[in-house]
Structure formats: structure tokens, C-alpha cells
Structure 1
Amino acid sequence: MSGQLVSENPWQRRLRTPWRGLGLWFLGIPATFVGLWFITVVSMVTSFVGILLFPSATMLLRRRLDRYREKIGRWTGHRIERPYLPQPDHEPGFQGVMRRFIALICDPATWRDYLWVVADPFVALFTAALPSVLIGYGVWGYLLAGFAGKLIGDHGGNDWYAYIHVHHGYGDDPAQLVLTAATGTLFIAAGFLIGPKMLDVYGRWGQAILGPTEKSRLALRVRHLTETRSDAVDASAAELRRIERDLHDGAQARLVAMGMTLGAIEHLLDRDPEKARLLLAQTRESSAQALHELRDLVRGIHPPVLADRGVVDAVKALALDHPLKTEVTGDLPARPEPPVESAAYFAVSEILTNAAKHSGASRVWVDLRHERGMLRVTVTDDGHGGASLENGTGLRGIERRIGTFDGVLALNSPVGGPTIVTLELPCALSSPKTSPS
């Protein structure tokens, strides 16, 4: 269910669904004209002009039906994914035009889109729009009972309403007028009663025709896995370069300097013991600094508290060192798998760093939950807002990193705040929960 439907109570939804169904039927009118243009272009594919026009006509139809998918998902609660197979890379010249034409004309979703624009006006009329038609017919019964029945009958028109002849005995038989009004009331009530069910049926019809087939779903899945694998390889390579750089510039340099200092101490032991003692003190201090840098490096690879206590306690430890006042809540009945814990931990770490640098916030709240097979992490700050996935690489990097686990990132950051970042990672809770001793 979409968030909008969840927020409505049953009576609100029952009152709104007839008009939403009518709105979906009216949306089919421009789609029908687009479908007529599409089939006109199809009729010309035996010529080069048709081949040139086919991609633009197909894209026009897809953009129109993308709006349909969004509306159906919002008003019926049935989310519809885009079903289209990946298109070949753009290539100039005749070969590129033909490759794109063949890819589009061989995509089953192209013809399912056309089936939709042909059949939907009739399907929508007897599903989504039917409740509003019944309500309109009920209102027409009131008008006939009030004045229209006599007016139509006096001018020789059809003055029947359902099974009732509303003109005969008009004014002499009030029971007939009451029966007409009662029948109209039944039609209106029926329209509101069946509205949610009809809209649900229409949503299922939309999923069946406008959603992906198994072939396209598999192709989209392969493309997603290819992209996330590439992102995972790039992230691993970048992490290895960072570790190598930190070792080379930090601990390794200190260890080399310590070796040289120890060599100098060997020569000074007999000639200048006092200077050798001073150099030994400096070497001991350098060894402590090298050990501290190695511990920081290990903590950056996989913090010991994360391995020992789990992601909730690790994030709490992270919050203790954060410059902003950070409140962490979470109650996981067991531990996620280690790779998922690590991805969630470093994602939260990056978000907290961004909040401290850019948000202007004074407080941050972190919540960790496991719901419906998902590890859900929500980070909220009271800053000035205005964050965007397009304007920076930090959140995009997090999105790519959790995408390796089929995770998703949602951002809500209106100007003026607050900023809410929500992460969802599919996972099973397998390891026993570690309790503090």
C-alpha cells in the first residue's frame, strides 16, 4: 500500500475512490490519442520513415504510461515497476538507428503498452469508473423525481428510470416519486460501497499489463546486479587504496623511522649513553603513535565493537564521539549478517559526518529497527535541510554501497528542515543477540 492510502481512514477512502476511478478513466483519453499515433507509425515501419519515427513514438507512449503507473500506484496501492528491457547504447549512423529500432520493437512491454491503450477505456469503464457512473445515475434519479421526468415526458422523451416510469401519475402518485428517489439512493450507495473494490481490481489489471514480464524482470535484475557488482568492485578498490595510503603515510613511515633511530642508538650506546636514552624515549613514543594509528586503521576497516556487540552498540559508540548531540534507539531481536551490519554502520557513520559538516544541526536522532525482513535505519537531524542526492557524492556513495545488498535510500529534506535519511537493507536476523555483560 502506498503511504497516502495508509494515512486515509476507510470512510475517506470510500468517499474518494469513485472520483479517483473517474480520473483514471479520463487519463486514458490522451493515452488513446498517443496510441493512435503509435499504431500509425507502426503501419509505416516498412519504410525508413517508420523506422526513424518508431523510437520517438514508443518513448512518447512510455512517458504517457509512466504517468499512469504513478497514478495507479498512488490511488490503488498497487505499485507498478517499469517493465522495459535495457536499451542498447546510443550509436550514430544507420546501424545505431536499426539497433535501437530492433530493441524497442522486440521488447514485449512495447506491445503490452499498446494493448493497454486499446483495452483500458473499456476495462476502466467497468472497473475504476463504474462507481462514479452508478453515483451519477443515482443523482439522475433524483432529478427525474424532482422535475426532469415530467419535463422529458411532456416533450416526448424517454421518462423511464431503471424499471420505473416516472412520468405516469406524476403528481398523483407520490409513492412512485419516492420509489424513484429510493432507487437513486441505492445506486449512489452501491457506487460508494464498491468503489474501493473496483479500484483494487483496476490496480491488479494495471499490474498485469503495465508491469514487467518474467523476461523483463530477469533482464532488469541482471542489469541491477551488474551495476551493483561494478559499484562493489569500485568501492573495494577505493577502500584498498585508502588502506594502502594510510599504511604508507602513517604506521609504515613511523616504523621505518623507528628502525633508523634504533640503528643510531646502537652506535650511541657506548659513546653517548645519554643521547641514546633520549632517542629510546622518542622511539617508544613513536611506537605508541604507530600502534594508535594501526588501531584507528583497523577500526576503519571493521570496528571491534561492531564485531563484538553488533550494529546498535557500534552506532551508540559512534554517537559518543560525535560533535553533535546524538540519540540512538534500536532494538534488534538478533544480529544481522556481518556484511549487512558493516554496510549499515559505515552508512550511518557517513550520514553523521555529513550532518556535522553541512546540516547546521544541533541534535541528531538515529533509530534502528528490523521490520518485514528489512533492517531499517532512520537518521534525523534538526538542521536547515535542503539536502539532495543530486548535489553531493556522499549520499550517492551510500546509495551505491547499500545497493550492493539490494538496499534503498530515501531522503526527505525540505528547506528549513528537518532532514530524514532512511535506509532499508534486506536481511535475516541469524546471529544471537549479544547482551552487555
Structure 2
Amino acid sequence: MTTETKSDGGRTRGSGRAALRGFRLALVLLPVAVALFTLTLVSIALIPIGVGIVTTPWMLTAVRAFADRRRIMAAEWYGVRIPSAYRPMPEHANPWTRTSGMLRDPATWRDLMWLPVDMTAGFLTALLPAALLLYPFEGFALAAGLWRVFPDDDTYWYGFVPVTGQASAFGAAALGLVLLFFAHFLNPRLLEAHFWLTRSVLAPGQDDLSERVRVLTETRRDAVDTSAAELRRIERDLHDGAQARLVAMGMDLGTIEVLVEKDPEQAKRLLSQARRSSAEALAELRDLVRGIHPPVLAERGLGDAVRALALRLPVTTEVDVDLAGRADAPVESAAYFAVSEVLTNAVKHSGADRVWVDLHHAKDMLRISVTDNGQGGAEIGTGSGLAGVERRLGTFDGVLAVSSPAGGPTMVTMEIPCALS
């Protein structure tokens, strides 16, 4: 008996809570949805004259935040999971890159389609629990004497009950009692239906999942191809470099064994040559290991590895690091070699005499920007190596953005989603 009473009380509290939450959704969030939808459409319409290029990213970011808030409510209140499938977008990209990137994202258009649905069907499904809970009390008020304030020659309708006297007022109260009974059981389910309606519009569809599979397949193939090319490079460097020197050193040592008693002076010269060959082979092996995975990266982390990389550049390079921990080793390696490639491009092609590198981590995103004061004109996919950097970052769902107007400066921004230890 006690258990049943608690269960009923929980359902009653659940009915009232659903009504309050629905009322909040309907009357508080509806104006926000109307404002966001209207301002976003106006901003997109202003893109041709240039104003919308600046305002659209801000408006779409606000729409995403509003949709994400609804996702949180759905998950916390009723366990309705609404997946988020926004494509990552660098925060420090230029306005045109951000605008075009966000407008090409299918999730953006799902958000914009959801807003009018939320303002109409969503508004009604959110308000219904509150109406179903409050409307019965009007029937009780009619039975308590409220019907007397209406003119005698006028019929007041409560639902489908015409209230003309005390008897019909009791009929209105009976109908209110029935509605309250249904509200007791249906309100939580009605509000849950509101979130399922939201999910049906916001959740990514099969086409989005297929596109995601295609992108992952391409990035995996690029990663495999890159790994195979890297192995071939290592094999070639070993064969042409350290291996050749070690073979020559072995031959010198064999000759020394023969000459050590017959011609000690020649043996000494060959020993000196073998010592130089061993030092050169060791240096080449160290360079090879540094190209695979720099020891400073493994021992000191990404920040110090980039600082060490900057010290070897022929141009003045400033490095600013704000990292509270370390990312996973594969992420650090990808970020290091991406920075290395961008810096190499800056030295070879930009004509810059000064480079700035900024590394920081915020909101589970590793952000790296490389800026130079060179001649500009850098583009992804023009043989500058940036396409390879983009593929490398894509393996980790990272993104690359380039701002490089003619005459400079050039700013390359890289973002990789990750957590720091």
C-alpha cells in the first residue's frame, strides 16, 4: 500500500512538473525562437551586400546554442537523445570562410527548418500539458458559483458542456475532474512527445550519416596512404644514408684488420675515417628518428617540441603556448607535423622574415594559428602542402582554415577536437 501511494505521488509531481516545464518552453522560449529565425533570415538575405557575411556566423552560432540547449533539456528531462552533427569550424577563420562553411553544413539547415516547427507544432505540444492541468480548475470554479456571474440569457460553454445553472455547473466540474485524471497520466508523455518532435527534425538523417561514413573512409584511406609513403621514405633514407655509411664503415674496418700490422699509418687514417662515418651515421639516424617522432615531443610535449622546431628556422619565430596538459600522442604527433609543414611553407614560399605561432586549448579544442608577414596568396590545394595538412587533421576530425590575401599577412588556423590529460 505504501509503495503504491509513493508511486501515485511521483506521477502527480511529474504531471505538475511537466506542466511547468511545458509552460516555460511555450511562453519563454517561443519569443527567442521567433527572434532567432527572423534575424537569421534577414542576416542571410544581407550576404550579397556584405553585411550578412559579418552577422550570419554570429546568428547561426546563436541558433546552434539554442538548439543545443533544447538537446540538453530533452536528454535531462526525458532521456530523449538528439544527436548533434555540426561540422567543426575554426573560430579564428575570416568571416567569409565561417559564413560559407556554416551555410554548407546540413545541420545548419536542419536548425533553420526546426525553428518554424518549434514555433507552431512545438509551441502547441509544449503548452498542452499546462492547459490540461489548469483547465479543470475552471470547471471546479464554475461548480463553486462562478456560473452565477454570467448573464442569465447567455450560455457559457465549458468544453462541450453548456453551463446554464448549478446542475450543468456540476457537469462542468465532472468534466474537469476527468481532464485532471487524464492530465495526471498524460502530461509527462505529452511533453516527451514534444521532444520526440524536436528530435525528428534536428537529428541527422541517413544522408548525413552516409556523408560522414564517406568522409571517414577518405580520411582513413589518406592516413593509410600517408603511413605507407612514410614507411617508404624511412626505408629509402635508411638505404641511402645510414645503411650505406655503416656498410662503408664495415669495409673500412675489414681493411684496417689487414693493415694494422703492415701499414699502421694507413690503418690510423682509416680508423679516423670510420669514426667520422659512425658519427655521420648516428646523426642521420637521429634526424630520421626526429622525423618519425621527435624525442622532445615524446618527452616534453607539443609546446616544447614546437619551440624546438622554431629555433631551427632561419626566420625569427615567436611561439606562444597556453596548454594546461598534454593531448593523446597521435593528436600531438599530427599537430606537430602539421605545424612543421606550415612553417616550412612560410619559410620557402611566403618571403616572410617573422612568424608567430600560437597554441592554446579551450572547450575541448586544440587551436593552433601560424601567422607570417609574407606576401600572402597561400591556398589549400595549390601544391603548397596545405592539402596534406588538411588530410592529416581530417583523420582526427580537425579542420584547417587559411586567410592569405595578396600582399599578406597569411594566417593558417588549425583546430583538433581533443581533451588534455
Contact 1:24 1:124 in 2 (8 A): no
Contact 1:228 1:400 in 2 (8 A): yes
Asked if 1:405 corresponds to 2:376, the answer is no
2:271 is matched with which residue: 258, 266, 280?
Answer: 280
- Aligned positions of 1:26-105 closer than 5 A: 75-77=59-61, 78=63
Shift of 1:71: 9.8
* Structure 1 residue aligned with 2:103: none
- Aligned positions of 1:211-222 closer than 5 A: 213-222=204-213
* Structure 1 residue aligned with 2:370: 379
CA distance 1:123–1:302, shift in 2 (3 Å): closer
Deviations 1:248-279 (A, max 9, x none): 00000000001111111111112111111110
Deviations 1:352-402 (A, max 9, x none): 110000011111000001111011001010111111113125000000011
Secondary structure at 2:380's aligned position in 1? coil
Asked if 1:294 corresponds to 2:247, the answer is no
* Structure 2 residue aligned with 1:141: none
Shift of 1:213: 2.8
Asked if 1:313 corresponds to 2:304, the answer is yes
CA distance in 1 between counterparts of 2:334 and 2:45 reads 45
* Structure 2 residue aligned with 1:269: 260
* Structure 2 residue aligned with 1:415: 406
Q: Which amino acid aligns with 2:393?
A: I
Q: Which amino acid aligns with 1:361?
A: A
Contact 2:256 2:271 in 1 (8 A): yes
2:236 is matched with which residue: 232, 245, 265?
Answer: 245
CA distance 1:208–1:326, shift in 2 (3 Å): farther
2:246 is matched with which residue: 226, 250, 255?
Answer: 255
* Structure 2 residue aligned with 1:200: none
CA distance in 1 between counterparts of 2:249 and 2:39 reads 79
TM-score w.r.t. structure 1 length? 0.54
Find runs of 4+ consecutive structure 1 residues off by over 2 angstroms.
14-27, 70-83, 122-126, 205-209, 211-218
- Aligned positions of 1:419-430 closer than 5 A: 419-430=410-421
Q: Which amino acid aligns with 2:335?
A: A
Contact 2:355 2:373 in 1 (8 A): yes
CA distance in 2 between counterparts of 1:399 and 1:224 reads 13
* Structure 1 residue aligned with 2:327: 336
Contact 2:376 2:408 in 1 (8 A): yes
CA distance 1:206–1:386, shift in 2 (3 Å): farther
CA distance 1:76–1:306, shift in 2 (3 Å): closer
* Structure 2 residue aligned with 1:232: 223
CA distance in 2 between counterparts of 1:208 and 1:219 reads 18
CA distance in 1 between counterparts of 2:371 and 2:39 reads 37
Alignment length (residue pairs): 266
Contact 1:25 1:125 in 2 (8 A): no
CA distance in 2 between counterparts of 1:424 and 1:309 reads 21
CA distance 1:375–1:415, shift in 2 (3 Å): same
Secondary structure at 2:408's aligned position in 1? coil
Asked if 1:304 corresponds to 2:295, the answer is yes
CA distance in 1 between counterparts of 2:43 and 2:356 reads 41
Q: Which amino acid aligns with 1:367?
A: D
CA distance in 2 between counterparts of 1:19 and 1:361 reads 42
Q: Which amino acid aligns with 1:256?
A: V
TM-score w.r.t. structure 2 length? 0.56
RMSD: 3.8
Q: Which amino acid aligns with 1:300?
A: G
* Structure 1 residue aligned with 2:74: none
Q: Which amino acid aligns with 1:221?
A: R
CA distance in 1 between counterparts of 2:334 and 2:379 reads 21
CA distance in 1 between counterparts of 2:200 and 2:45 reads 17
Shift of 1:25: 8.6
Contact 2:245 2:278 in 1 (8 A): yes
